[in-house]
Structure 1
Amino acid sequence: MSRSGRSDVRPAIGRRRLLALAGTGVLAALAGCSGLLSDSEPTIDADALAEVVAEDAPSAPETIPVDIEPAFVDEQRSTAAATLDGVPAPFDREAIPNGVIRERLNDSYEAATEALETIDEGETPYGRLGRANRARVAAREVRAGWRAIEEDLTQADLREEVPAIENGIDEVAARWSYVGDDPVRAVVVHAEIEDELRAARNWIAPDRGRPADGNALGVADLAEELERARTSVAVASYLFERFRGSLDTTTGQRGRFRTAREELTGRVREAMSGLPPQDVDEPTALVDRDVDETAGVRALASLGSEARYRAKDVTAPENRREGPSLANDVVGATDALVYVRGFESLRERIEGGDDVAVESVEDVAALRSAAVSAVERARDATRAALLVDAMLPWYADDIRWTDDRFRRESGSVTVDSVAYDAIDYVVAAETCRALPPACADAAAALRES
């Protein structure tokens, strides 16, 4: 299941932590970490950090409760391979004299070939499908860029493809309906179909603001967007047909989704009064106790900021997505409640006397271990398991991103810098602990509506 804002490449400082830490002085302190260390500034050896993250984080692969056939994945694989066929990449200076264009198209070619080569490494059929579609998109991008150079392909030529894509979107939307025999399974599948149809429309929207750039990169960019739209249409259509074909009864779920959305949104609205503002100036003021600005306190600010952000998104009518969104509204409210629970749990923990401080590599190891355990317990959840499995990657990936940052360190690293990065271990632990009960509540709202 996708989530807006998630991507395969995460920036070193995420939006939620910038919001949580703005005004705290932490960012200013971190900005100076790359300079010479003060003799009195405590540090942690980077090799010791590397030992802490030597073992891979537990996987939380992307899943969807639809039987995805290997043949459908192979179809996307074949499309990508055929698109690359005949493209004389990687390109040299003679083929493409312009260094900027050459580098960009070679990067796209490398992305396409790597995705093709690693399709079968996906842990689930859904993961393998995602890799195959990424290969399709990158292959189309590089081929279009090369055709712009060799055959004078233009953006105007590509735009002639838009009506056919629009017709494909409309055809899928006309067939699709909120059916299902289990509302929890249905909400997971329909949320993904909503996402795919919305993405397809967005990729071909005329107001995307792309300039009429006639060079090869402008053509490559437009071709990439059109191929993303095509893959979204293909996935939405396939998921719905496979899902509908698997049902014993095709009961309409629209009423359940609507009632559950109102129930869960009401809970989010009630929780907002206990949340901090989106920008937290004094994290230590979030707890009724004298405590230093530890990693735990900073994580509390992060969780509170994210909870507020998501609660506003869920409860504000003007933030409703364009197009059908009932299933995503239910999932979005559940996501907001995960952060609310995580915030409340961590605040209670700190007020109970646990500073959640990082002063040594042993503290880092303990925080990581707690996050790993939380992921493993969430994977074993039995109530609302389909919804838990679909959402778990959103929170569990924080461990992997943090591990990667620690693996890149060298020499001596300031304790404050390490503590700052360790915030995400705390956030991952709290959100993964909160996920199963939040999903159980969502499942109850769906089944009782």
Structure 2
Amino acid sequence: MPDISRDEERESPVPPSVPVTITSGHFDATRERVRSLLATLPTPLGPEEIPNGHIRKHLTDAASDATQGLGDARTARTGLMALRSLRRARENARYAAAGWGVVDRGLTAAPLQDEYNRTVSGARETRQEHEYVGADPVRAALVHARIEAGLERATDTDVRPREESALLSVAEWGETAEAAQVYLSDARHIRAQFTASLPPDAGSVRQPLTAAAKALLADIRDQQSTLAPEPNTDDRTPGRMVFDELRREAQSGISRLAYAIGPASAVVDANSQLARLRALDRIQTRREAEELARPSDAKTVRDIRQTAYDALTAALESSSRSALARTVLVDAGHKVMAADRELTHHQGEIAASTLDRSVADYWYATALARSASAATQQTVQALEGD
């Protein structure tokens, strides 16, 4: 069996990023917010403060996770990953602080709901006034897609707090209010940093983004109409598993593109969908050539795993537009991470079929990584009007 470290099990080999510099001041302000929220909690938070052990554990776990998030942000491999760690830290810290606020000062959900609604209104206004400026349409697509996603998350109104406890319900409203704030804050910061990095003559890229999204969507629809048929046999080998998964994603992905949250997200999502369609073709070709037989020994599994890692590295290093290719490779990396995690659950002699899920995920990652460059090239051509 492959020797997998704990870090490999928990982290994707390719971290997500955004081509914008996040300032140290923004990170510092977020860290200070986490610390100030945690400072409102008594230390330790014990039975005298909250007799109910179940509720107390929810709050102490959240506080612990917030502290862990601060540490994760310091060691994050990209600025975007640091932002995500700090966002989760803020959410957890606010959850704990709001829950303790119920005990300490009779905090209710009402002011937190009002705070959340104000943030949602602010995010909607920011979305309405957002201008798609840029110089390089590829970089602009990547940055504006992050902004679109952040503002969308900030306005997510599907809030369903727990009903098991009034205290935990208030805690969740605190978490929800904080999440909306940090999504909005991060989106505004990314927008400001991106705008500041542009030359004075930078103009609108809305039209090339919209045109590229439309052209790519049409091409994807054409490819989807000629998908390989679903096999009739009941075959549960890893080769069939990866084929079925990619085929399902090829069929369902079109609806996400048609209802994308914005033109930049539509382009980035189309790039990923193009890569999946190419990956499906690769898997189909390998199946027809009978190259995806279930491995029967540990060495073959190790080789399959190493091939996946090598494919990720090669794709990232060889692409002339690595930032765009990375959006595909992040997904491929998650498959490798999932496969690694599954392998850690098995020791000693096991049936070959036990590893089917991991093997399928490694094959998926390999096919997707090897498809990233061609998909990215097609997307770049659409953005540049070639």
User: TM above 0.5, one fold?
Assistant: yes
Are the structure 2 counterparts of residues 55 and 138 from structure 1 closer, same or farther at C-alpha, using a change threshold of 3 Å?
Answer: closer
What is the CA distance between 1:175 and its match in structure 2?
A: 4.3
Cα distance in 1 between the residues matched to 2:35 and 2:135: 38
Q: What's 1:105 paired with?
A: 59
Correspondence 1:368 to 2:305: yes
Q: What does 1:68-217 correspond to in 2, within 5 Å? A: 68-89=22-43, 91-202=45-156, 205=157, 208-210=159-161, 215-217=166-168
Q: Which of 254, 272, 291 lines up with 2:224 in the alignment? A: 272
Q: After the TM superposition, which of the residue ranges 225-234 and 148-157 deviates more from structure 2?
A: 148-157
What is the CA distance between 1:209 and its match in structure 2?
A: 4.5
Q: Is the Cα contact below 8 Å between 1:295 and 1:422 reproduced in 2?
A: yes
Q: Which of 244, 269, 288 lines up with 1:301 in the alignment? A: 244
State the TM-score, normalized to the length of structure 2. 0.92
Correspondence 1:442 to 2:379: yes
Cα distance in 2 between the residues matched to 1:227 and 1:73: 16
The residue identity in structure 2 corresponding to 1:267 is D
Correspondence 1:395 to 2:329: no
Cα distance in 2 between the residues matched to 1:348 and 1:329: 29
What is the CA distance between 1:54 and its match in structure 2?
A: 8.4
Cα distance in 2 between the residues matched to 1:247 and 1:213: 50
What is the CA distance between 1:253 and its match in structure 2?
A: 0.9
Give the RMSD, CA atoms, in angstroms: 2.3
Correspondence 1:420 to 2:354: no
Task: Please give the secondary structure, in 2, of the residue aligned with 1:63.
Answer: coil
What is the CA distance between 1:327 and its match in structure 2?
A: 0.8
Q: State percent identity of aligned pairs.
A: 26
The residue identity in structure 2 corresponding to 1:195 is A
Cα distance in 2 between the residues matched to 1:197 and 1:251: 22
Q: Which of 347, 351, 356 lines up with 1:410 in the alignment? A: 347
Correspondence 1:232 to 2:183: yes
What is the CA distance between 1:294 and its match in structure 2?
A: 3.0
Cα distance in 2 between the residues matched to 1:135 and 1:397: 22
Cα deviation per residue 1:368-405 (whole Å; 9 max; x = unaligned)? Answer: 01110111012103322221123421221211221122
Cα distance in 2 between the residues matched to 1:53 and 1:264: 40
Q: What's 1:37 paired with?
A: none
Cα deviation per residue 1:21-75 (whole Å; 9 max; x = unaligned)? Answer: xxxxxxxxxxxxxxxxxxxxxxxxxxxx253678948831221001111221111
Cα distance in 2 between the residues matched to 1:213 and 1:168: 31
What is the CA distance between 1:260 and its match in structure 2?
A: 0.6
Q: What's 2:14 paired with?
A: 60
Q: Is the Cα contact below 8 Å between 1:89 and 1:109 reproduced in 2?
A: no
Cα deviation per residue 1:266-314 (whole Å; 9 max; x = unaligned)? Answer: 111011123257xx67467xxxxxxx65322221111111221213432
Cα distance in 1 between the residues matched to 2:7 and 2:64: 28
Q: Is the Cα contact below 8 Å between 1:52 and 1:365 reproduced in 2?
A: no
Q: What's 1:314 paired with?
A: 257
Task: Please give the secondary structure, in 2, of the residue aligned with 1:111.
Answer: helix
Task: Please give the secondary structure, in 2, of the residue aligned with 1:123.
Answer: coil
Q: What's 1:429 paired with?
A: 366
What is the CA distance between 1:94 and its match in structure 2?
A: 2.5
Are the structure 2 counterparts of residues 330 and 159 from structure 1 closer, same or farther at C-alpha, using a change threshold of 3 Å?
Answer: same
Q: After the TM superposition, which of the residue ranges 404-413 and 371-380 deviates more from structure 2?
A: 404-413
Q: Is the Cα contact below 8 Å between 2:4 and 2:344 reproduced in 1?
A: no
State the TM-score, normalized to the length of structure 1. 0.80
Are the structure 2 counterparts of residues 150 and 378 from structure 1 closer, same or farther at C-alpha, using a change threshold of 3 Å?
Answer: same
Q: Is the Cα contact below 8 Å between 1:53 and 1:403 reproduced in 2?
A: no
Q: Is the Cα contact below 8 Å between 1:90 and 1:106 reproduced in 2?
A: no
The number of equivalent residue pairs is 383
Normalized per residue, the structure richer in helix is 2
Larger relative CO (CA 8 A, sep 6+): 1 or 2?
A: 1
Q: Is the Cα contact below 8 Å between 2:338 and 2:358 reproduced in 1?
A: no
Q: Is the Cα contact below 8 Å between 1:84 and 1:143 reproduced in 2?
A: yes
